[in-house]
Amino acid sequence: MARRGISLLYATAGLLVLLLAACVPVTNLPADVARRYGAGTDGGFPMAAVPAAYLTERNRRQVVTYTGPEPAGTIVIDPYARFLYLVTGPQRALRYGVAVGTQGRNFSGQAVIRRKAAWPPWTPTANMIRTNPEFYAAYAKGLPGGPPNPLGARALYLYQGGRDTYYRIHGTQELTAIGKATVAGCIRLFNQDAIDLYTRVPVGARVKVRTPAESRRYEGVVKDGPDGRLVQVSGPGG
């Protein structure tokens, strides 16, 4: 029953995204943004266009000025401002909007990408099965990669000292989640952005996950607006 439920959930979400992509015009977006988030096929799987309504300034991938101390090649995750940065040079970075699940708020500090996967399979952790067996026990042997899979098109796996942290950067079919705090998942990106990040980041790349204090220092104070997306309250250091 649980397996059918999760498959139906993601199949329904995928159908909804396809309908929205067909109905929501992207002509109000810059041409390069519309092209970047257009529909396509990857690994034999269809990938819907991201509707323009979700491609807000905070959510879409862009080059920005970066003020943190990390060197080029570092991934910096800010779970509180809901940004992921790939530092590309002195004071420069690619910034991606992300959704942050409960697991994404339970870790901070340094890690290393030790594994990457395209359309990865997904297996719930022992803790997930133990705390919610009615939902997760059916997936104890894993769920194959593909559109119904909650890890989406790509996944990057974070390790510390050779140990899997179970902290993931991955794609998602739930496009409405980007820019929001959610229950499920770790750090989720639009599938188009997950693919882009995957191509740029090698195994061995360093990752920094900010604390709340570091987020305030570099991003300022933010709060959830009525729609669940962040609103800036004060500037960096506020």
What average pLDDT does the chain have?
Answer: 87
Whether the pLDDT of residue 134 is over 90: the answer is no
b/e code 61-85 from CB counts within 10 Å (16+ = b): beeeebebeeeeebbbbbbbbbbbb
% the chain with pLDDT above 90: 67
As beta bridge partners, residue 187 has 100, 169
The pLDDT of residue 126 is 86
The pLDDT of residue 136 is 83
176-228: pLDDT as tens digits = 999 999 877 789 999 999 999 999 999 999 999 999 999 999 999 999 999 88
Assign 180 to helix, strand or coil. coil
Higher per-residue confidence, 207 vs 15: 207
Whether the pLDDT of residue 129 is over 90: the answer is no
Global pTM value: 0.85
Task: Give the contacts of 78 (CB within 8 A, at least 6 positions apart).
Answer: 84, 85, 210, 214, 215, 218, 219
- Chain centroid to Cα 36, Å, comes to 16
The pLDDT of residue 139 is 87
- Beta strands 230-234 and 221-224: pairing type? antiparallel
The pLDDT of residue 238 is 65
- Beta strands 75-78 and 206-209: pairing type? parallel
Average pLDDT over residues 43-54: 94
Distance in angstroms (rounded) separating the CA atoms of residues 55 and 194: 15
How many CA atoms within 13 Å lie on the side-chain side of 101?
18
The pLDDT of residue 26 is 41
pLDDT band at 167 (very low <50, low <70, confident <90, very high): very high
The pLDDT of residue 25 is 40
DSSP 230: E
67-92: pLDDT as tens digits = 999 999 999 999 999 999 999 999 99
Whether the pLDDT of residue 28 is over 70: the answer is yes
If you search the block for the tokens 């257009």, which residue do you land on?
A: 38
The pLDDT of residue 73 is 98
Residue pair 215/233 in contact by the 8 Å Cβ criterion: no
The pLDDT of residue 2 is 37
Would you kindly state where each structural domain of the chain is located, as residue ranges? 2-220
* CA distance readout (Å), 88 to 46, 74, 112, 159: 30, 8, 17, 22
Instruction: Name the residue among 106, 118, 123 with its Cα closest to residue 194.
Output: 118
As beta bridge partners, residue 78 has 83
Residue pair 145/151 in contact by the 8 Å Cβ criterion: yes
Residue pair 112/157 in contact by the 8 Å Cβ criterion: no
Average pLDDT over residues 153-180: 95
- Chain centroid to Cα 32, Å, comes to 21
CATH number of 2-220: 2.40.440.10
